[in-house]
Amino acid sequence: MANRREFLQTLIAAAAASSLPALAVSATGSNASRRLPWKNWSGCQLSHPTDRLAPATVAELQEQVRNARGTIRAVGSGHSFSPLVPTDDTLISLNRLSGVISHDDVRQQATIGAGTRLGQLGEPLEARNQALINMPDIDQQTLAGSLATATHGTGAGLQCLSASIAALTLVTAAGEQVECSQEHNPELFQAARVGLGALGIVTNVTLQNTRPYRLKRVSEWLPIEDILATAQDNADRYRNFEFFYLPFSGMGLQDTHELSAEPLSSTDQFDQNDGARDLQQVRDLLSWSPTLRRMVLKGILNSIERETKVAASWQNYTSARNVRFNEMEYHLPREDGLQALKEVRERLENHFPEVFFPLEVRFVKGDDIWLSPFYRRDTISIAVHRYFEEDYRPLFNAVEPILRQYGGRPHWGKLNTLTGPDFAALYPHWEDFKTVRRQLDPTGRFLNSYLRELFA
């Protein structure tokens, strides 16, 4: 019989392999209904893994991969909306393989455990005189999870996070440890920088960082036509530039970041989560009158003061997202992005009065990674959101053809309806990726049903 310590260890390992609280862990059973469900952040993906593993060492991970039953999927913090993670067989979390392992001061590189959350990196990197070059708008994702889907921030001169990988190590389907970089196993490196968790389990990553820097962030609500008129120029002018458009309001939130040597400071911050609840209420009360809705929204948004915050980079990119939603995001050629946005906005405002979440628009510099949606093109990214309790499909289905018409490539971690042949047409190295994947995992141990269909 297991003693208390073993019981606790099992509980911790199971909780680490879950995005649910530790107390939700239940007994494993052969019947799916008796197994602890795994759900992603928004709740749109669900599975019932028979085994949830959280190895404490790479050797343990190798052993677990060798012995695992059925489909093996790695999970980060479950923040992807697309069905990359779900498996009813073996789910592996690297939460216990986290933290900065070593660093190289001259090259400004650091080797980091794959299960480290982005939000756990700021302080330890700063202590080593380093900082991430850019960050997304939340910091709850794990490093490996972010890299697997080409997670990005905003900045016309800045690439997605995967472009900062100098080297990585993964455990293959055979339980072997393989390292890769530009010089060593270059084909694998090309594939693994955005690998969808389809090549193996990444255990650590060496990132190219920069020296610590301070950012001044300015956020203000402005008429959307003013934001659009200067968007391309502002994208080139500011280190980071993005904006949100609030449907039915005529108003947008513009967000800029610049390098700063000013003293640390912050004006009152508008709580975005309270904001979402207000928007929902305005929708509920006023969607019958677009004119009144627009007036009320304008009134509310005009009353929000411009916010400024000067802080260390890693404290000034992200916000908490406590109001859950589902999301579709497409990456389009930069020159077409604003025209596509105009069409998306028209379709949304003409047909979906129930929507109250903003559209988000960001800029990302192109790269050379095989499965990066930014492959060889500077990009405008357009994201569409729906409150998590509402059916996202009618809106996303209506908007997706516009984004596709402009050659958009979907974010790997966000909802879309593309199939293998669609991706093959969008990615010149699709077949190369498939070849590397087949060599590493000929029987498809890391493929769940979604990936199996994509790579069939």
Ligand X SMILES: Cc1cc2nc3c(=O)[nH]c(=O)nc-3n(C[C@H](O)[C@H](O)[C@H](O)COP(=O)(O)OP(=O)(O)OC[C@H]3O[C@@H](n4cnc5c(N)ncnc54)[C@H](O)[C@@H]3O)c2cc1C
Cβ contacts of 215 within 8 Å, gap of 6 or more: 239, 240, 257, 258, 259, 260, 310, 311, 312, 313, 316, 317
The helix (run of H) or strand (run of E) holding residue 326 is strand 325-333
Report yes or no: 214 and 259 within 8 Å, Cβ to Cβ.
Answer: yes
Question: In terms of CB distance, is 286 or 396 closer to ligand X?
Answer: 396
In angstroms, give the least distance from the CB of 160 to ligand X: 7
The single-letter DSSP state of residue 155 is B
Footprint (CB under 6 A) of ligand X, residues 72-91: 73-80, 84-85
Q: Which of 16, 17, 36, 94 binds ligand X (CB under 6 A)?
A: 94
Measured from the CB atom, the residue of 248 and 357 that comes closer to ligand X is: 357
Q: What's the CA angle centered on 79, arms 93 and 241, to 5 degrees? A: 130
Give whichever of 195 and 247 is closer to ligand X, judged by the CB atom: 195
Query: At 38, phi and psi to the nearest 5?
Result: -105, 135
Kindly state the smallest distance separating residue 382's Cβ from ligand X, in Å. Answer: 13
Nearer to ligand X, 139 or 400 (CB): 139
Identify which range of 138-146, 176-184, 225-233, 257-265 contacts ligand X by CB under 6 A. Answer: 138-146
The answer to whether residues 437 and 191 touch, using CB atoms and an 8 Å cutoff, is yes
Please, which of residues 152-181 interact with ligand X by CB under 6 A? 152
Q: CA angle, 363 as apex, 43 and 188 as ends, to 5°?
A: 70
Decide whether 296 or 396 has the Cβ nearer to ligand X.
396
Residue 202 found at the interface with ligand X (CB under 6 A): yes
First to last CA, the chain: 45
Minimum distance from residue 118 beta carbon to ligand X (Å)? 8
The one-letter code for the residue type at 256 is T
Written as six digits, the tokens of 448 are 């769940």
Q: Angle 393-405/334-351 helices, nearest 10 degrees?
A: 150
Q: Provide, rounded to whole angstroms, the least separation between the CB of residue 178 and ligand X.
A: 12
**Cross-strand partners of 410:** 330
Question: Shortest Cβ distance from residue 142 to ligand X (Å)?
Answer: 4
CB of 182 to ligand X, least distance (A): 20
Q: Does 55 bind ligand X (CB under 6 A)?
A: no
The DSSP bridge partners found for residue 187 are: none
- Is the Cβ of residue 296 or residue 412 nearer to ligand X in the bound state? 412
Q: Does 316 bind ligand X (CB under 6 A)?
A: no
Residue with Cβ nearer ligand X (87 or 209): 87
Shortest separation between residue 242's beta carbon and ligand X, angstroms: 9
CB of residue 112 to ligand X, shortest distance in Å: 11
Closest CA to 137 of 242, 277, 275, 251: 242
Residues that bind ligand X (CB under 6 A): 41, 73-80, 84-85, 94, 114, 136-138, 141-142, 144-146, 148-149, 151-152, 196-197, 201-202, 321, 411, 413
